[in-house]
Chains A and B, each alone.
Chain A
Amino acid sequence: MPIDSVILLVKYFTGRLDQAARLIFEVKKESTLKQIRNQGSTWLYYLILLLAVPALLAGLAGCAGNEASSTGNDDVSEVSEVALEPTAAPATPTDEAIATADSEEVIVAEAVEPSTCFDCHTDKDLLIATADPEEEVISENEGEG
């Protein structure tokens, strides 16, 4: 850190900024003084920040606490659970589904609800048990096709 800045800082905290500036003015050109004044301003800003940031954080913490207490509401909790369900509607919902639908969630629930098609076609043993016997087709083709 330049010595000028150190002097300025010391004088600032002792309430003698102008005196410090004059002192430096005696040994430096005007342009240098302007630079030092600016540096003095920068330090002032740093100080303000040091004081303001903790206050801001404390304020935010208070707000967060209020929000946390408001999410304890049961209704909102239900919304979160619903949001975990698939939200895409079927490409072409059935008339029945549309007629009984009070909300988008109901339509989705009906569309993805396991059907007898799904129950059977995901059950290997059931498929084996209910498979039609395959007709043996004797090819009459001769040679490569």
Chain B
Amino acid sequence: MAPLEPWEKVLVDSEVYPETVHGQIACVECHLGDDTAEEKAVAHEGLIHNPSNEPEATCGECHPNVVEVNDQNLHITLEGYHVMLDARSRVGAQDELQTMFNNHCNDCHSSCGECHVSQPDLVGGGLVSGHMFNRTPSMTQNCTACHGSRIGNEFLGKHEGLKPDVHFSQGRMTCVDCHDGAQMHGESSQCQDCHTTPPSSEVPPKDHMYGGVQQPRCETCHVNQSLGDDGIRMHEQHSGDLSCEVCHSIEYTSCDGCHVAISETTGNPFYATDGSYLSFAIGKNPLKSYDRPYEYVTLRHVPVDHESFAFYGDNLLENFEALPTWKYTTPHNIQRVTPQAETCIACHTNPDLFLTSDKVAPEEFEANLFVIVGEDELPTLDDLRGDPRDAARDSLLGNSVDNTQDNTESADSALSDSSTDSQSDNN
């Protein structure tokens, strides 16, 4: 996203905007200031740059149904940060962490206007289309302006050698095609109004991104695939125990060691991360629930470490082990065919795909105990016993296997059939 020139950020469309509903409202109604003054300084006296920071008094006048659920809107509450900090921190560390939060995290906030009128302040702001109120936010100027370094780069295929998400490259879908207004505003979607069982399952307000009912979910569109009745063997076998991303995602970004502090020279807050790299790791599901019943999911390393907030106090994250540092993730780089799902043996003979203990830093081992895949839990060729594709295993192992199934079909043809099914299914 190219930065906007100062004049571009505040240039109002003189032709179209006045004809719109919002164009009927005098500027000073929302922005205050003095619309009779000739001098810029006087005209801007008391000016409110972003009126939607006080949504009840502005947007809420006409859109009360949206504003009234703002306390459930993660874009506004940033509740996910608080949940994670509370879980990892020691008792009595809240004040220091709140100061840290205000200095470093609170800018990751989005008001109504930062999605529907201008670019987010975090990336410098500026009107997106001449002060027009866009019902649908711009994917690049709004959504990925903030969610760019991971989600945007994955979805749009900006990592060298990695394809964009198939939903973008072939489906021409944008963020809002899955993440609808209800989710963005923190409203419960229609399904959730009724389907809140079992009692233990949460419904919004969510306390973090993966809290509550899964929204959006692949299964909404890919019903047959999720039920395993589309004739594809891998779906038949794994639709219940693997999240879709385990087979259909490619490498995605992980980060290590973020530390925050206030600069001694400028007094400004800053951060430093130890590393950002592409990774792919299948691990045990840390958020297993009625809504996310998968045994195995994709995991992403998040940049927190024991000393991330040491600038603000000692041992603030005393309960660091309360949450894994390899977290449940839903990468946005879905492909029909991936290296791990190309054939059965591509996964069943490849421990590199899994988060095994040797891949976890010793100081984080305890935190990730419940997501690490044990050596004895890795999928093997023996798991394929009884499948016509056993022939592939036989050829690899060079021995004979006591098969109860008809193995006249070669492994290659079986696999290519499966692959063909997959192709046609997705077409």
* Interface residue A139 (Cβ < 8 Å from any Cβ of B): yes
**Cβ contact within 8 Å between A141 and B26:** no
Contacts of B271 in A (CB 8 A): 141-143, 145
Q: Which of B94-102, B159-167, B262-270, B328-336 is the contact stretch?
A: B262-270
Closest B residue to A90 using CB positions: B25
Q: Could you give 23 example pairs across A and B, Cβ below 8 Å?
A: A86-B24, A88-B24, A90-B26, A91-B61, A94-B28, A111-B24, A112-B23, A115-B27, A115-B35, A116-B37, A117-B33, A121-B11, A122-B11, A124-B11, A132-B6, A140-B266, A142-B270, A142-B272, A142-B273, A143-B272, A143-B276, A144-B149, A144-B273
**Cβ contact within 8 Å between A91 and B62:** yes
**Cβ contact within 8 Å between A90 and B24:** yes
A7 to chain B, nearest CB (A): 71
**Cβ contact within 8 Å between B18 and A112:** yes
> In whole angstroms, what is the CA distance A108 to B266 when docked?
50
Given A127-B7, A140-B270, A122:B24 Cβ within 8 A: no
* Interface residue A47 (Cβ < 8 Å from any Cβ of B): no
Interface string of A116-145 (1 = CB under 8 A from B): 111011101001101110100011111111
* Interface residue B38 (Cβ < 8 Å from any Cβ of A): yes
> In whole angstroms, what is the CA distance A108 to B24 when docked?
8
* Count of residues in B whose CB is under 8 Å from the partner chain: 42
Contacts of B14 in A (CB 8 A): 118, 122
Given A141-B271, A144-B255, A134:B6 Cβ within 8 A: yes
* Interface residue B43 (Cβ < 8 Å from any Cβ of A): yes
* Interface residue B406 (Cβ < 8 Å from any Cβ of A): no
B326 to chain A, nearest CB (A): 18
* Interface residue B36 (Cβ < 8 Å from any Cβ of A): yes
Shortest 9 CB-CB contacts between residues of A and residues of B: A143-B273, A122-B14, A144-B276, A115-B35, A127-B7, A142-B272, A140-B270, A117-B27, A121-B12
Q: Which of B6, B31, B40, B266 is close to A120, meaning CB atoms less than 8 Å apart?
A: B40
> In whole angstroms, what is the CA distance A141 to B276 when docked?
14
Contacts of B25 in A (CB 8 A): 90-92, 111
Binding site for B on A (CB under 8 A): 86, 88, 90-92, 94, 108, 111-112, 115-118, 120-122, 124, 127-128, 130-132, 134, 138-145
A33 to chain B, nearest CB (A): 67
**Cβ contact within 8 Å between A116 and B24:** no
Given A94-B26, A115-B26, A143:B275 Cβ within 8 A: yes
> In whole angstroms, what is the CA distance A104 to B13 when docked?
26
> In whole angstroms, what is the CA distance A132 to B27 when docked?
21
Closest A residue to B36 using CB positions: A116
Contacts of B61 in A (CB 8 A): 91-92
Q: Which of A86, A122, A138, A145 is close to B273, meaning CB atoms less than 8 Å apart?
A: A145
Contacts of B10 in A (CB 8 A): 121, 127
> In whole angstroms, what is the CA distance A118 to B29 when docked?
13
Contacts of B268 in A (CB 8 A): 140
Contacts of A116 in B (CB 8 A): 35-38, 43
Q: Which of A88, A112, A122, A138 is close to B12, meaning CB atoms less than 8 Å apart?
A: A122
**Cβ contact within 8 Å between A115 and B29:** no
> In whole angstroms, what is the CA distance A90 to B369 when docked?
60
**Cβ contact within 8 Å between A117 and B43:** yes
Contacts of A143 in B (CB 8 A): 255, 258, 271-276
> In whole angstroms, what is the CA distance A24 to B12 when docked?
86
**Cβ contact within 8 Å between A115 and B36:** yes
Contacts of A88 in B (CB 8 A): 21, 24
> In whole angstroms, what is the CA distance A32 to B35 when docked?
88
**Cβ contact within 8 Å between A92 and B12:** no
Contacts of B13 in A (CB 8 A): 122
